Structure 1
Amino acid sequence: MTLKADLFFSFRSPYSYLAIGRYREMAREYDLEIALRPVWPIAIRDPDILFTGNPAAPRYIFMDSMRAGEHLGIPIRWPRPDPVVQDLETRKIAKDQPLIRRTVRLGQAASRRGKGMDFAYEVSRIIFSGEVDGWHEGDHLAGAAARAGLDLTELDAEVNSDAGALDAEIEANQQALEAAGHWGVPTLVFEGEPFFGQDRVEMAQWRMEQKGLVKRGG
Structure 2
Amino acid sequence: MTHTLDLYWSFRSPYSYIVMPRLLELERNFDARVNVRPVLPIAVRQPEFFANSDPLWFSYLFRDSVRSAEFAGMPLRWPRPDPVAMDFATRTYPKEQPHIHRLTRLGQLAAERGHGLAVLRAVSHLIWSGEVDGWNEGDHLALALAKAGCDLAEMDAAQQAEAARLDAAIAQNEADQRTGGHYGVPLMVYDGEPFFGQDRYDQLVWRMQQKGMAAR
Distance in 1 of aligned mates of 2:209 and 2:18: 22
> How far 1:51 sits from its partner (Å)?
2.6
Aligned to 1:131: 131
Q: Deviations over 1:18-41 (max 9, x none)?
A: 111111111111111101110000
Aligned runs of 1:62-211 on 2, under 5 Å? 62-211=62-211
Q: Which structure 2 residue ranges, 5 or more long, are not aligned?
A: none
Distance in 1 of aligned mates of 2:134 and 2:147: 18
Q: Which structure 1 residue ranges, 5 or more long, are not aligned?
A: none
Q: Deviations over 1:99-119 (max 9, x none)?
A: 111101100110110111110
Aligned to 1:52: 52
Distance in 2 of aligned mates of 1:200 and 1:208: 12
Distance in 2 of aligned mates of 1:34 and 1:152: 23
Distance in 2 of aligned mates of 1:166 and 1:199: 30
Give 2:69's aligned amino acid: G
Measured on the aligned residues, the alpha-carbon RMSD in Å equals 0.9
Distance in 2 of aligned mates of 1:117 and 1:50: 28
> How far 1:97 sits from its partner (Å)?
0.6
Distance in 2 of aligned mates of 1:49 and 1:100: 17
Distance in 2 of aligned mates of 1:45 and 1:3: 30
Q: Is the 8 A contact 2:50 2:91 kept in 1?
A: no
Aligned to 1:29: 29
Q: Give me the TM-score of the superposition, normalised by structure 1.
A: 0.97
> How far 1:58 sits from its partner (Å)?
1.1
Q: Deviations over 1:122-145 (max 9, x none)?
A: 000000001111111111111111
Give 1:50's aligned amino acid: F
Distance in 1 of aligned mates of 2:70 and 2:3: 31
Q: Give me the TM-score of the superposition, normalised by structure 2.
A: 0.98
Give 2:105's aligned amino acid: R
> How far 1:50 sits from its partner (Å)?
2.7
- Give the count of matched residue pairs: 216
* Range with greater deviation from structure 2 (19-28 or 180-189): 19-28
Partner SS state of residue 98, structure 1: coil
Give 1:134's aligned amino acid: G
Aligned to 2:215: 215
Q: Deviations over 1:75-100 (max 9, x none)?
A: 11100110111111111212211211
Q: Is the 8 A contact 1:35 1:114 kept in 2?
A: no
Runs of 4+ in structure 1 off by over 3 angstroms are: none
State the identity %.
51
Q: Is the 8 A contact 1:118 1:148 kept in 2?
A: yes
Q: Is the 8 A contact 2:48 2:92 kept in 1?
A: no
Partner SS state of residue 99, structure 2: helix
Q: Is the 8 A contact 1:51 1:91 kept in 2?
A: yes
Partner SS state of residue 33, structure 1: strand
Distance in 2 of aligned mates of 1:26 and 1:167: 28
